[in-house]
């Protein structure tokens, strides 16, 4: 059984200001992060998703040793089925090479992007890259260090959360809806055609099975947003 068979939904996670509080990073003389603190709730979120059977992959830009140091520090390394780091891929997000390497490392294919979530703090990297491939984009607006307003439609997230633990409810809901869509026959179009239509139609498809209203606007700051 492939690792992505555990649950229908696959979860890609960024690191900096998604799991790790970048303001706490301690670097050595070579610029490698030797230690850092996590965002409140990040460790619990990772452990909870793993315990629920979701497949997790880290998809992050930076030096491999930095991520190894921090994940080991917080004992999170073994919760990820794959670590896709830009140093190894020789590309950075939003390059499709990062996301394709991640799904490949999970023994999946590009057809699985339609059931994959990318969670990150950077609209121009995480969200834009995910949208371009038909991956469900989730913007985590916890940090004030990066823009919260999309530069254009390509950076518009499908969903917005304020902090890590909010991801649990979202992915559980999406997992249920994926099952409902499949049971009902889902869309009559082939999965590859859905992906080719782009991020806008991908979001519309999920909203049609959600029936839960419009996409959150990242320009709106709900209570609790930092």
At residue 36 the predicted structure's pLDDT band, cuts being 50, 70 and 90, is very high
- Measured CA to CA, the distance from residue 71 to residue 117 in angstroms comes to 21
Residue 144 has pLDDT above 80, yes or no: yes
Per-residue pLDDT for 223 more than 90?
no
Reported as a pLDDT band with limits 50, 70 and 90, residue 19 is very high
- Distance between CA atoms of residues 38 and 74, nearest Å: 8
CB 207 within 8 A of CB 199: no
What is the CA 60 to chain-centroid distance, rounded? 10
Q: Provide, rounded to the nearest whole percent, the portion of the chain with pLDDT above 90.
A: 72
Q: What is the pLDDT of residue 168?
A: 97
* CA–CA dist 14, 207 (Å, integer): 24
User: What is the gyration radius of the CA atoms in the chain, in angstroms?
Assistant: 17
2 has a pLDDT exceeding 80: no
- Measured CA to CA, the distance from residue 175 to residue 140 in angstroms comes to 19
Lowest mean pLDDT among 96-100, 168-172, 195-199: 195-199
Residues 6+ apart with CB under 8 A from 171: 9, 11, 49, 54, 117
CA distances from 55 to 79, 90, 134, 162, 203 (A): 9, 24, 18, 22, 22
| pLDDT tens per residue across span 105-138 | 999 999 999 999 999 999 999 999 999 999 999 9
Q: Is the pTM of this model over 0.85?
A: no
Which pLDDT value is given to residue 4?
Answer: 56
35, pLDDT greater than 50: yes
Instruction: For residues 195-203, give the mean pLDDT.
Output: 41
The rounded distance, in Å, linking the Cα atoms of 170 and 212 is 12
């Amino acid at each position: 059984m492939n690792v992505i068979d555990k649950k229908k939904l696959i979860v890609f996670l960024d690191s900096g200001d998604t799991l790790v509080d970048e303001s706490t990073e301690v670097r050595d003389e070579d610029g490698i992060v030797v230690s850092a603190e996590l965002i409140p709730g990040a460790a619990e979120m990772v452990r909870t998703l793993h315990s629920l059977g979701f497949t997790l992959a880290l998809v992050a830009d930076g030096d491999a040793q930095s991520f190894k140091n921090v994940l080991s520090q917080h004992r999170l390394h073994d919760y990820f089925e794959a670590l896709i780091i830009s140093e190894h891929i020789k590309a950075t997000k939003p390059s499709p090479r990062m996301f394709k390497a991640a799904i490949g490392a999970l023994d999946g294919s590009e057809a699985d992007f339609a059931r994959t979530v990318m969670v990150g703090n950077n609209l121009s990297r995480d969200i834009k890259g995910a949208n371009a491939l038909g991956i469900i984009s989730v913007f985590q607006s916890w940090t004030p260090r990066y823009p919260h307003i999309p530069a254009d439609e390509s950076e518009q997230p499908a969903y917005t959360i304020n902090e890590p633990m909010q991801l649990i409810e979202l992915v559980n809901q999406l997992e249920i809806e994926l099952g409902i869509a499949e049971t009902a026959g889902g869309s009559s179009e082939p999965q590859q055609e859905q992906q080719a239509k782009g991020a806008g139609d991908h979001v519309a498809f999920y909203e049609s099975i959600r029936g839960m209203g419009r996409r959150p606007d990242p320009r709106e700051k709900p209570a609790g947003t930092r």
